[in-house]
Amino acid sequence: MLQKPERLIVDGKRLDGRAFDELRPVKIVVGPLHRADGSCYIEHGKNKVMAAVYGPREVHPKHLQEVTHAIVRYRYNMAPFSVEDRKRPGPDRRSIEISKVSREALESVILKEYFPRSTIDIFVEILQADAGTRVAALNAASVALADAGIPMKGLVSACSVGKVDDTLVLDLSKEEDNYGQADMPVAIVANTGEIAFLQMDGHMTQEEFRKALEMAIDGCKQIYKLQREALLAKYGGLENE
Ligand code: UDP
C-alpha cells in the first residue's frame, strides 16, 4: 500500500513533477496480437494494457443474436499480478461495472447495424495497474477496433481529471487517485465532440466540474492525436497503394 503523503501538491507542482494539465507519457502499439482481428497495446504512465478484438463473427449462444444489428461484448479484466496486493482472479463488481460502462461508450460509435446477427467481442487485460486503467483500456479498445476494421463514427479517446489538495489536475497518478478529493474519467468522440463516457467519484463544485470537464476534453484530444498517429504509422501508407 502506498504511504499517504502529507501533501499531493508541493510548491505548485505535483509529486511526480508534472504540471496540473500534463498527461503521463503514453505509448501506443497497433496490432501486436496476430490471432486477434484487431489489437492494441498501451502504456500510459505505469499502466500496461492489452486489448484484443474478435469479429464481427457469429454469436454464441445463438439466442443472443439481434436481427437488426451486431451485439458488442466488452470484458475488462485485471490480471492478479497487475496490482500491489494480488487481485483475486476473475470478475468482481468493479470489473463488471467498468465492462458495462465501457461497452456502452464504444457502442455509441460502432456502426452496429452493418453486422446483423453478429458479435463484436472486445477483451481488455490490465497487465499492470497504476490508476486510470479504465481510460487506458478504452483507448486501447478503440484502437484495436479500428485495427480490426470495424466501422465507427470516430475513435473514442479517454482520460481522467481530478481534484487533489483543492486543485484540479489532469490524469491522476496512483497517489492522487488514492488520496485525492475527486476522480472523473471522461471519454469523447474527438471528431464529433460528443461525450461518450463520464463517471465521477468524490466531490466538486459546479464551477470546478465545468473547468475539470474542459481539462479532461483537452486531455482526450491529446490522446486522440496519439491514437491517430499510431494508426497512421501502421495504415497511413495504404492510402497510396
Ligand atoms: N486497484 C487495485 N486493486 C483493485 C482495483 C484497483 O490495486 O482491485 C488500483 C489500481 O492501481 C487502479 C487504481 O487502484 O488503477 C484505481 O482504481 P479505480 O477503481 O479508480 O479505477 P481506474 O482508475 O484504474 O480506472
pLDDT in tens, 175-230: 999 999 999 999 999 999 999 999 999 999 999 999 999 999 999 999 999 999 99
What pLDDT, on the 0 to 100 scale, is given for residue 4?
Answer: 84
Of 1, 54, 5, 47, the residue nearest 26 (C-alpha): 47
Mean of per-residue pLDDT scores for the chain: 96
Backbone angles phi, psi at 175, to 5 degrees: -65, -40
Which of 108, 97, 100 lies closest to 145, judged by CA?
108
Å from CA of 57 to ligand 1 middle: 32
Residue 1 is predicted with a pLDDT of 63
Is the shortest distance between the CB of 48 and ligand 1 below 6 Å?
A: no
Q: What average pLDDT does range 4-21 have in this prediction?
A: 93
Residue 188's nearest CA partner among 87, 106, 95 is 106
User: Three cell numbers at 31?
Assistant: 496490432
Query: b/e per residue, 74-98, with b = 16+ CB within 10 A?
Result: bbbbbbeebeeeebeeeeeeebeeb
Tell me what pLDDT residue 238 has.
Answer: 63
Q: For a substitution probing ligand 1, which of 177, 186, 201 has the most ligand atoms within 8 Å of its CB?
A: 177
Report whether residue 79 contacts ligand 1, using a CB cutoff of 6 Å: no
| pLDDT computed for residue 240 by the predictor | 52
Average pLDDT over residues 84-110: 97
Per-residue confidence (pLDDT) for residue 239, from 0 to 100 = 58
177 lines ligand 1 (CB under 6 A): yes
- Residue 127 scores a pLDDT above 80: yes
Over residues 79-104, mean pLDDT: 97
Looking at the predicted structure, is the pLDDT value of residue 2 above 80? no
| Residues 106, 51 contacting (CB under 8 angstroms) | no
Which CATH topology does 18-236 take? Answer: Ribosomal Protein S5; domain 2 (3.30.230)
User: Which whole number is the average pLDDT over 106-116?
Assistant: 98
Residue 128: which of 29, 43, 216, 228 has the closest Cα? 43
Extract the C-alpha cell encoding 174.
496512483
Helix (H, G, I), strand (E, B) or coil at 156: strand
Ligand 1, atom 16: closest residue by C-alpha: 131
Q: Which residue has the cell 468493479?
A: 94
Per-residue pLDDT tens digits for 13-67: 999 999 999 999 999 999 999 999 999 999 999 999 999 999 999 998 999 999 9
What residue segments make up the domains of the chain, in order of their start? 18-236
Check residue 3 and give its pLDDT: 78
Q: Say if residue 153's pLDDT is above 80.
A: yes
